[in-house]
Amino acid sequence: MLIDDDIPTVKALLDIVNWRELGLTEVVSAYNIQDAKQLFDSGEPDLIICDIEMPRGSGIDMIQWARARQYEGGFIFLTCHESFDFASKAISYNADSYLVKPLDKQELEAALRKSIELLKKRMLMGEYSKLGLAWLKNKDLVERGFWSDVLTAAISPRINLIESEMQKRELALSVHTDYILCLVSVPPSQIEREWNESIFHYALSNLISEILISQVCAGRMIAYQTNNVFYNAILVESTIDMQWLKSSAENIILMCRQYLKCTATCYFSEKKAVPELSQIKAELELLDESNLIFRGKVHFQNEPFHYDTTTERFTLDIEMFTLLFVQKEKVQIVNRLKKELEMLTNLNKLDSATLHSIREDFLQVVYSLLSRQHIQAHRLFADEVIQQLAQHAESSVFDFMKWAQALTDKTVDSIKEVLQSEGVVDRAKRFIHENYRQDLSREDVAASVYLTADYLAKVFKNETGQTVKEYLNDHRINAAKQMLIESTANIGDIAMETGFDTISYFSTVFKKLTGETPIAYRSRHKSAR
């Protein structure tokens, strides 16, 4: 591109230079900076020859504008004055030459050849740079693949096989170098906002890379996910400054909390040989699984979590929780459980074994209540959501509370549904069936359905044709009849077992309802058998 407000100069340049011989196949002209910029936008030239002094914008303005747009082509300036100020500005913007008018053809052609040679070198270096970046990127991918195979034991942890893989993949690594494995963990329960999983993992990996890249090459940072936990494994040569490494890990935790709204935890192994790294990775993952209350910190493998085990292990108050379930106090159940866990956390007593025992006790309360209501637990908790919550219930306090909340809601709502589907008389009958062995009165049965004894007696008689006492004795005698036939227990034991105070009263009621004594009933049925 030729730029000069003096039209004869432009025409002279077009005529005196053999452009094709120099390898320039197209020459365009502009007579001011504005026209030149439009031509530039329609097709970026490889070389610009520009007058410095023009009335509607100088050559310096043009080179400033072009360089601001990342233009890397050649630039030759023309001027009528040998001004040091102009020359120094031209040099500062990486101009190739500075020619004084009137132009000498030989000087002009020499300047053109110089610019073209520089242009060719820049193009060649640009290609080399692209190839170099591609090679570096590919090298990182190859090395990352190698370390991933080492950590997952896809390459057998034997020195000769690992060394063979290093050579095969043309990696400048030594099997005799010791490494420190850093594991960054983020369980889903520690993420405060909704993320697409792949986007979150990408963001997490980028954040870690930004912080560590000055000392750790990208090929030694491996992102993966297992048991629904986001992990980044970073391999660091054992010669690294540990203070810098610990400070970087703390920075990762801080930046994750600030920008990704999540709680990251960092674990460091001891110095280990390459064949030991897959085992070390598994051990750090187990350490992470057992971490319930020490998240958002830096941990070292040789410094295990310190729980207070000086006192007796905590046990759940089963009677209290049973009462809360009977009273259907869903909010109180969850809040009380949360307070218990917070108290244990504050006292540094909530380890994985304690959380497991609390879960078992809580389940005992739930299963016992469901059994009384004849609800099958395996059917009630068969839906996928509860099962997934159950799988992760012991991963963290947060996951445990999500599971406990869901279990409580499902249990209480199901018991309410069963009770609402029964009438008052059906509930009274069920109470008698469950408690007939005890010394029951009409008042006891009425209290179980929250009615007065007189009102229940009236309702019960109207619906069944029997009094509460008659129904109770009828159910007791039916149970006694079964025991007389199927067991060898004596009559006195059967009377006590079915809720009668004395043998004589038992025998009286039995004969009244069956027409024969208990002994005669047993004898007749034995003969029949």
Mean pLDDT of 145-170: 93
For the cut 80, the answer to whether the pLDDT of residue 80 exceeds it is no
Residue 421: pLDDT band (50, 70, 90) is low
Residue 116: pLDDT band (50, 70, 90) is confident
For the cut 90, the answer to whether the pLDDT of residue 61 exceeds it is no
- For 232, phi then psi, to 5°, come to -130, 120
Cα–Cα distance for residue pair 260/203, rounded to 1 Å? 8
For 2-103, CATH gives: 3.40.50.2300
Sign for the CA dihedral angle at 198, 201, 206, 207 comes to positive
Comparison of pLDDT for 464 and 122, the residue scoring more: 464
For the cut 70, the answer to whether the pLDDT of residue 129 exceeds it is no
Which of 376, 220, 359 lies closest to 292 in space, CA to CA?
359
Residue type, 226: T
Exposure string for 374-386, b = 16+ CB within 10 A, e = fewer: ebebeebbeeeeb
Q: Domain 424-528 belongs to what architecture? A: Orthogonal Bundle (1.10)
pLDDT of residue 395: 83
pLDDT of residue 12: 87
Residue 86: pLDDT band (50, 70, 90) is low
Contacts of residue 254, defined as CB under 8 A and 6 or more positions apart, other chains included, come to none
pLDDT of residue 498: 94
Name the residue with tokens 């192994």.
269
For 404-414, how does the pLDDT look when each residue is reduced to its tens digit (9 = 90+)?
999 999 999 88
**DSSP, residue by residue, 19-66:** TTTTT-----EESSHHHHHHHHHHS--SEEEEES--TTS-HHHHHHHH
Here the tokens at position 526 are: 């034995």
Residue-range domain boundaries for the chain: 2-103, 144-300, 318-421, 424-528
Comparison of pLDDT for 86 and 526, the residue scoring more: 526
Which of 235, 80, 65 lies closest to 150 in space, CA to CA?
235
For the cut 60, the answer to whether the pLDDT of residue 34 exceeds it is yes
For 189-224, how does the pLDDT look when each residue is reduced to its tens digit (9 = 90+)?
888 888 888 899 999 999 999 999 888 888 999 999
For 144-300, CATH gives: 3.30.70.1230
Comparison of pLDDT for 479 and 293, the residue scoring more: 479
Q: Edge-to-edge strand order for the sheet containing 179-186?
A: 221-226, 229-237, 179-186, 265-268, 298-300
pTM: 0.53
Whether 182 and 301 have beta carbons less than 8 Å apart is answered as no
Cα–Cα distance for residue pair 375/379, rounded to 1 Å? 8
Cβ burial, residue 84 (10 Å; 0-12/13-18/19+): exposed
pLDDT of residue 107: 86
pLDDT of residue 97: 82
For the cut 60, the answer to whether the pLDDT of residue 135 exceeds it is no
Mean pLDDT of 271-282: 95
Residue 186: pLDDT band (50, 70, 90) is very high
Here the tokens at position 80 are: 């009528």
Residue 29: pLDDT band (50, 70, 90) is very high
Which of 196, 30, 222 lies closest to 142 in space, CA to CA?
222
- The verdict on whether omega for the bond into residue 102 sits within 30 degrees of 0, i.e. cis, is yes
Longest Cα pair distance anywhere in the chain, in angstroms?
A: 144
For the cut 80, the answer to whether the pLDDT of residue 304 exceeds it is no
Contacts of residue 307, defined as CB under 8 A and 6 or more positions apart, other chains included, come to 348, 349, 350, 351
Contacts of residues 30-38 at CB distance under 8 Å and 24 or more positions apart, as own/partner, are: 30/1, 30/2, 30/3, 31/3, 31/4, 31/5, 31/7, 32/3, 32/5, 32/56, 32/57, 33/3, 33/57, 33/58, 33/61, 33/62, 33/65, 36/1, 36/3, 36/62, 37/62, 37/65
Report the percent of the chain where pLDDT is more than 90.
Answer: 51
**DSSP, residue by residue, 83-129:** -HHHHHHHHHTT-SEEEESSPPHHHHHHHHHHHHHHHHHHHHHHHHH
Cα–Cα distance for residue pair 367/365, rounded to 1 Å? 6
Mean pLDDT over each residue of the chain, to the nearest integer: 88
For the cut 80, the answer to whether the pLDDT of residue 528 exceeds it is no
